[in-house]
Amino acid sequence: MPRTRSSRRWLKEHFSDPYVKAAQQKGYRSRAVFKLEEIDGRDRLIRPGQRIVDLGAAPGGWSEYCAARLGGRGQVIALDVLPMEPLPGVTVLQGDFTEAAALAGLDEALGGEPVDLVLSDMAPNLSGQKAVDQPRAMLLAELALEFVDGRLNPGGDLLVKTFQGQGFEALLADMRGRFRRVHSRKPGASRDRSREVYLLAREFLA
């Protein structure tokens, strides 16, 4: 099947991307690790001893980074609808976060213990139609926010991928009602043309 002009453009951009090259050189699973690395370096998110949940984890770059930062002291639980190769120091679960069965499996892995940090890099399969993609993306962000209720330690943090557009301001207001501080972050590894913005919510009010 011949490649479309847009797919050829994406491939050219992908393989010339300095973050893709750096990820390959360092053996990281994806370029996305540099997004978390930059935010963590600025905001000091990850500390030994934490219990971390990584939503939308595949192929595992963020979980891999978290496990390395924890240095064997703490716990990382990764969930994605896609299969993921095992990672040292990470409990890997496969399931659709929008379904009750996946959530039950995640709660079972937590064993009733509270979480210190929730990371969500979830995004829908994009159709290219903003009127369809934006609501799907915001739903995933809203579900990640709902997940913290009853699970996140008081004073805990949430980092969630969002997309600017319809529903963004409502989500931001909701987060400000549940956390002491909320910051927006646009890491260097986020492509310029992307509408993605990460919202970092600090100090859960429970």
Q: Across 37-193, where does the E strand assignment appear? A: 51-55, 75-80, 90-94, 115-120, 152-163, 179-185
Quote the pLDDT of residue 97. Answer: 92
- Tell me how far CA of residue 53 lies from CA of 46, 90, 94, 123, in angstroms: 12, 10, 13, 16
Token readout for 72 is 């064997």
pLDDT digits (tens, 9 = 90+) for 15-24: 566 555 555 5
Cite the annotated binding site for S-adenosyl-L-methionine by residue number: 60, 62, 80, 96, 121
Those residues whose C-beta lies under 8 Å from the C-beta of residue 155, and which sit 6 or more positions away, are 203, 204
Q: Does domain 31-204 have CATH number 3.40.1080.10?
A: no
pLDDT digits (tens, 9 = 90+) for 134-147: 888 899 999 999 99
Quote the pLDDT of residue 105. Answer: 95
- Classify burial at 53, counting beta carbons within 10 Å of its beta carbon; exposed 0-12, middle 13-18, buried 19 or more: buried
Quote the pLDDT of residue 1. Answer: 43
Residue 206 to residue 201: CA distance in whole angstroms:
13
35 catalytic? Reply is no
Strand 90-94 to 51-55 pairing: unpaired
Give the global pTM: 0.86
Q: With 60 as the cut, is the pLDDT of residue 6 above it?
A: no
Residue 53 to residue 63: CA distance in whole angstroms:
9
Quote the pLDDT of residue 32. Answer: 82
Q: With 80 as the cut, is the pLDDT of residue 189 above it?
A: no
> Which residue among the candidates 21, 26, 161, 186 is catalytic per the annotation?
161
Token readout for 156 is 């805990």
Cite the annotated binding site by residue number: 60, 62, 80, 96, 121
Q: What is the mean pLDDT of residues 61-68?
A: 95
| Segment (H or E) for 203 | strand 196-204
